Every structure is written in C-alpha cells, then in structure tokens.
C-alpha cells in the first residue's frame, strides 16, 4: 500500500493557508533519491544526471537537484531561459529538442549548452542559424521493436525521433570534417519501464554503436546519454526498479564492450524526470460533491487541468482518502473533476473507503508530468505548488493562478479593462 509523505494533521494545518487543490513535493525524498542515483553510477567518474525540466519546471525543485549535482535537460526556449535564470551554463545544460526553431538553437549556443541533434538535416540547419560547437550529440533511433529478455518494451520504429545508424555514421563524418571535436550518443527507446533490464540493454546497444562509430569515423566519443525511461511503480502492487542493480548492469556492459575497445574513458549521462520526481509529489484535493446515478461519483475541487495523465492516457494514480487509510475499501467510485469532458476522471470503478464531503484526497505520484502538463480548458486555473521541507515546514513555490493570469494576454484590449 502506498503511504503519503504528509499526514492528515499536516494537511489540516496547510489548508488553513493554502486551499486545495495543490501539488506538494517532498524535499527529503527528492534528495535521498538523487543521492542514490549518484551512488549507483559512482563507478563512472564523469557520470551526470541532467534532470528533464519538462517533468517539473519549477526553479525551487530544480535547485534542490542542482545542489545534489544535477544538470538540466531542456527542450524549449523557455526551459533554456529558466536554466539561464538559475545560473546554469555550458556542459551543465543538455538541449534535446525536435522540430527545433532557429531561435532555440541560437539560445542554446549562447548558453554554450550541449546540443543533442534529433535529425540529420539539423546539422546543416544548426550550422546555418547558430554555428557548430566543439562538442555535439546525436540522437539514435534503431528502428524496429525494442526488446529485452523479458519481451517487447516499445516500438522505436514508430517514433518520430532520432537518426538511423547510417545517418549517424554519415552525420559524425560530416560534423568531424566541419570541426566538431567531441561527440555524444543519445537514445530513448522506451518509456516508464518497470524493469532493471532496460538501461543495461539500452547501454549495450549504444556502447556497441559507439565502438562502430569510432572505428568507421575516427571521432572522439566523449559521452553516452542513456536519457530517461526508468519508470516508477504507479500501482501499489508493482515492484519498484532497483537503481543499484541498474547501475551495476550498465557497468558490466561498459566493462564488456567499451573497455576492450579502448573506450573506457566515456562519461555516462542520464536524463531522468519521472524517476527523479514522480513519487515525491502529491496532488491534494477535497471531495466537494457526491453523485449517485448509474454509478457512484465523487467530485473533487481538482480536475484534469491539475493532472492530465488519467484523462490523456488512462493512467493509474493511486488514491488515499486521508484519515481512512485503515478502513475497508468497500465502496466503488469514479473520482472526477468538473471539466465538460467525460474523461475528466482520476479513477474509474476504484474501490475505496466511504468518502464524505470534505474529505481530503491525496493522489499519488504526481511529482513529474503532473502540474507541468496542466492547461486552462474551461477557464480552469492552475493550482499552487508547495514544498514540504526537510524540517517539516511548508514553503509556497508557485502561487495559484488567478483570473488576471488567465486573461493576461488580452491586456492590450478594452475587454481587459472591463474585466478588471
């Protein structure tokens, strides 16, 4: 059973100042997890985690990871702006983008970020709009179906990302001729894997590719970026990944493939978002309505604006009815929000304790791709974000949106003056 990192007593105090709904994050858990990841890859002197900013683009959260030695993985102009505002620069920024506008490459070059090219044609495009740097990475897509010993993991052949192997070879040759000195290889072949096999299998593929690229092009490959894909157990009965076993599996592949090829100096990078943050965030909401027609519904003051994953993917997020953790789960509910869409449901036919109006509801594992995927459909406003600090105090790290925020892009208009 999943246990919230906040108690009912804590939440009762918090809502006196910050009304629901809100996202709250656990500083202690975030720091401990970051340190464990670093320990798992401590065998590699150049190891670095580039936190995927898109997962949780909040400077207060990112700063915790910065203090733990993490860089940032950016994928847009505004994410680069955030990195710059937080005093990131140079090789502490990985810029992994696709269908990239010229101004984003220009900004990445201004910050001297490591650029991870997604497409062969971007070589010429980057050179034209911003110039080529001394160090560059290219994203690899092997095509077909990605398998491990336990079966099919995903289908890279259907993904829009990356170079083919032939394009990688030709691309590295061209880039070397144009003066690039140091190279990286990146790949993301499966999402949210609950398997200790994923990273070691991916590493083996990329390590073999690195050896082949060095032999065929003579380039200096500086790093291998294993990207993201390590998942978390959203369901309470799922077994979590063992990051120490994963790190050891990558080490074995490194020793077996790269070291005999004279490439034992490569740095290992990761771009984890979900693994770093998801378990350390909750969406806290209040039950405000109950409806009984053909099914029993509990309506919350939160909706898909606050957490899109269940509506978008049918994703499971565990739910705790605070104060009723030890009561039997003998009531079947759909837990819904108030959007004018029937998929605005956090849970369908979920067995839970009896829920009363006013009960506080914790929706688990929202620390990544939770708040960040929010939107404003129906004129709904995004919630506040709070940080539960290691000393037990609570800090506001993003205020809730107001109607003025929602209408701000009409500030040039007479309609705005009538609104405010």
Q: Tell me what the mean pLDDT of segment 344-360 comes to.
A: 98
Q: Which fold has domain 8-22+279-403?
A: Lyase, Ornithine Decarboxylase; Chain A, domain 1 (2.40.37)
pLDDT value of position 270: 98
Q: Are 391 and 353 in contact (CB under 8 A)?
A: no
pLDDT value of position 159: 82
pLDDT value of position 153: 57
- Residue 358's pLDDT band, with cuts at 50, 70 and 90, is very high
Phi/psi at 170 (nearest 5 deg)? -65, -40
pLDDT value of position 291: 97
Nearby residues of 81 by Cβ (< 8 Å), 6 or more positions away: 107
Set 74, 138, 303, 340: catalytic member: 340
pTM of the model: 0.95
pLDDT value of position 155: 76
Percent of the chain with pLDDT over 70: 98
Q: Which fold has domain 27-278?
A: TIM Barrel (3.20.20)
pLDDT value of position 1: 82
- Residue 44's pLDDT band, with cuts at 50, 70 and 90, is very high
Is 303 catalytic? The answer is no
The domain segmentation of the chain, as residue ranges, is 8-22+279-403, 27-278
Please name the helix (run of DSSP H) or strand (run of DSSP E) that holds residue 32, with its range, or none: helix 27-40
Q: What is the pLDDT of residues 123-171, one digit of tens each?
A: 999 999 999 999 999 999 998 787 765 655 567 878 899 999 999 999 9
Q: Tell me what the mean pLDDT of segment 198-209 comes to.
A: 96
Q: Tell me what the mean pLDDT of segment 300-318 comes to.
A: 97
Pull the structure tokens for residue 83: 């990195």
- Residue 191's pLDDT band, with cuts at 50, 70 and 90, is confident
Tell me, yes or no, if the two domains 8-22+279-403 and 27-278 fold the same way. no
> What span, in angstroms and rounded, lies between the C-alpha atoms of 142 and 187?
9
Q: What is the pLDDT of residues 252-298, one digit of tens each?
A: 999 999 999 999 999 999 999 999 999 999 999 999 999 999 999 99
Pull the structure tokens for residue 10: 């804590």
Look at residue 190 and tell me whether its pLDDT is greater than 90: no
Q: Is 153 in a helix, a strand, or coil?
A: strand
Q: How far is CA 109 from the centre of its chain?
A: 24
Residue spans of beta strands (DSSP E) within 21-89: 22-26, 48-52, 71-74
Strand pairing partners for 350? 333
């Amino acid at each position: 059973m999943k246990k919230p990192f906040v108690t009912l007593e804590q939440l009762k105090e918090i809502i006196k100042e910050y009304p629901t709904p809100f996202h709250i994050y656990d500083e202690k858990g975030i720091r401990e997890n970051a340190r464990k990841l670093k320990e798992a890859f401590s065998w590699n002197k150049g190891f670095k985690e580039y936190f995927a900013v898109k997962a949780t683009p909040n400077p207060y959260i990112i700063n915790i990871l910065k203090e733990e030695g993490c860089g940032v993985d950016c994928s847009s102009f505004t994410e680069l702006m955030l990195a710059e505002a937080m005093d990131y620069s140079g090789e502490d920024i990985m810029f992994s983008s696709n269908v990239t506008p010229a101004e984003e490459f220009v900004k990445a070059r201004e910050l001297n970020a490591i650029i991870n090219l997604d497409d062969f044609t971007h070589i010429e495009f980057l050179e034209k709009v911003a110039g080529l740097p001394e160090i560059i990475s290219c994203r690899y897509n092997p095509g077909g179906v990605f398998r491990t010993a336990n079966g099919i993991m995903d289908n890279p052949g259907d993904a829009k990302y990356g170079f083919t192997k032939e394009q990688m070879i030709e691309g590295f040759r061209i880039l070397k001729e144009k003066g690039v000195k140091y190279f990286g290889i990146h790949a993301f072949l499966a999402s949210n894997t609950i398997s200790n096999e994923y990273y070691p299998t991916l590493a083996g593929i990329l390590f073999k590719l690195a050896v082949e690229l060095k032999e065929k092009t003579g380039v200096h490959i500086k790093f291998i970026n294993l990207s993201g894909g390590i998942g978390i157990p959203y369901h309470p009965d799922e077994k979590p990944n063992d990051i120490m076993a994963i790190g050891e599996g990558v080490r074995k592949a490194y020793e077996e493939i790269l070291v005999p090829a004279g490439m034992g100096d490569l740095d290992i990078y990761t771009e984890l978002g979900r693994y770093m943050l998801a378990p350390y965030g909750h969406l806290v909401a209040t039950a405000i309505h109950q409806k009984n027609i053909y099914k029993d519904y509990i309506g919350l003051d939160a909706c898909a604006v606050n957490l899109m994953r269940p509506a978008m993917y049918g994703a499971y997020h565990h739910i705790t009815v605070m104060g009723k953790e030890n009561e039997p789960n003998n009531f079947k509910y759909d837990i819904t929000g108030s959007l004018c869409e029937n998929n605005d449901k956090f849970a369908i036919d979920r067995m839970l304790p009896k829920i009363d109006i006013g009960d506080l509801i914790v929706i688990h594992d929202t620390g990544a791709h939770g708040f960040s995927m929010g939107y404003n459909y129906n004129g709904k406003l995004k919630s506040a974000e709070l940080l539960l600090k290691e000393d037990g105090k609570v800090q506001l790290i993003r205020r809730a949106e107001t109607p003025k925020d929602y209408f701000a892009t009409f500030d040039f208009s007479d309609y705005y003056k009538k609104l405010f």
